[in-house]
Amino acid sequence: MTESLSLKEEIVKYKDNTFTSCVDEIAVEFPLTIFINQVEFATMVCSPENLDELVLGFLASEGVIRFRKEIKDMTIDRDQGFAYVELYKDDFINQQSFSKRFIGSCCGKSRQFYFQNDVRTAKTSMVTTTVTAAQCLSLMKRMQADSLVFQNTGGVHNAALCSTEELLVSRSDIGRHNALDKLYGYSLLNGIPVKDKILVFSGRISSEILTKAAKIGVGIVLSKSAPTDLAIRLAEDLNITAVGFIRGTSFNIYSKPERIIL
């Protein structure tokens, strides 16, 4: 069963010095607690759709698993807000790895802050994929047009996995990290190689988003918003092309510009 990402609420609207009653569409917020081998691992606040993809992508992103086949069983209890995951292995948690910051070098060029598990799971991109400027604009336009939930609520983030020519799959979530995890989970569930794919994203490219993209394995990230300075430095270290402010007929390339061509 797929639950709605939004619901109707009666509100009071102010406009032109007048209060009126009306019905507005509101994004749904859903807490999901993940148990691994009967041990509580994490609680996520998310949109209640594609939860199997979310859990799988999150666990892969956190370095708990690498492949779908490592999961023995997974059950989603929507009524209680629980996800139960059984792994074939028992020694899956080193709590320090998931909570302790680590100062290290990605590939010797600069010192950056990571979580310890990020050092193990973030991949330096080796892709040779190129995309034209016109395709960047087109892919962003398609992703935005595909998100009816955002158009109706303004309360979710959107992300899409694309080839240079088309949008392959898109996901929406109230959490920007969650939207990327759903794409990661989708690719793992369906055996889709991602190295030659492009990640199109609606939100700001922060260091965490850039690291998440590196974990997924893409080499090009397109966003309609801005990057942070640390995200740009990470993109250089991880050999990822970061493009921001894709709006109308223009955009800015912040790292590895050779992958964007005319």
Q: Active-site residues: which are they? A: 107
Q: What order of strands is seen across the sheet that includes strand 220-223?
A: 167-173, 157-162, 198-201, 220-223, 241-247, 250-253
**Helix ranges restricted to H, 13-132:** 51-61, 95-99, 116-121
CA-to-CA distance for 160 and 53, rounded, in angstroms?
14
DSSP codes of every residue in 167-216: EEEEEEESSHHHHHHHHHHHHHHTT---TT-EEEESS-B-HHHHHHHHHH
CA-to-CA distance for 220 and 241, rounded, in angstroms?
5
CA-to-CA distance for 19 and 92, rounded, in angstroms?
55
CA-to-CA distance for 184 and 45, rounded, in angstroms?
18
